[in-house]
Structure 1
């Protein structure tokens, strides 16, 4: 899937604009890369941790998981 397709899919499935969806992808990607580098995690480990963080943020607020990410 290309980045543009991913942005379209996120925007259409949430209350986000395409611009916000693009920023979300960039922020998530930057965070993912930083965590991997800082703690020497594998891709799978880092992805599991990020999913837990997003779920925790969404559970403690009125945001959807897409908004919390």
Structure 2
């Protein structure tokens, strides 16, 4: 039996988690950042592997229009 490569979302998540210690983030950062990415992917309706700068801009605008704080809007 051959081993299949990880799904793109799992690979992206693993890369994010691996990069966090190098950024000297607080202990709650991984959870909050992954939650924000999950919310962004849900709003986007497709994989985060396909995100464009315009997608990020539109999501930030959506957060602002919906009354979400600027701190949350800055980290989709």
Q: Same fold (TM over 0.5)?
A: no
**Structure 1 or 2: more helix by fraction:** 1
Q: Kindly name which structure, 1 or 2, has the bigger radius of gyration based on alpha carbons.
A: 2
Between 1 and 2, higher relative CO (CA 8 Å, sep ≥ 6) is seen in 2
Give the TM-score normalised by structure 1.
0.43
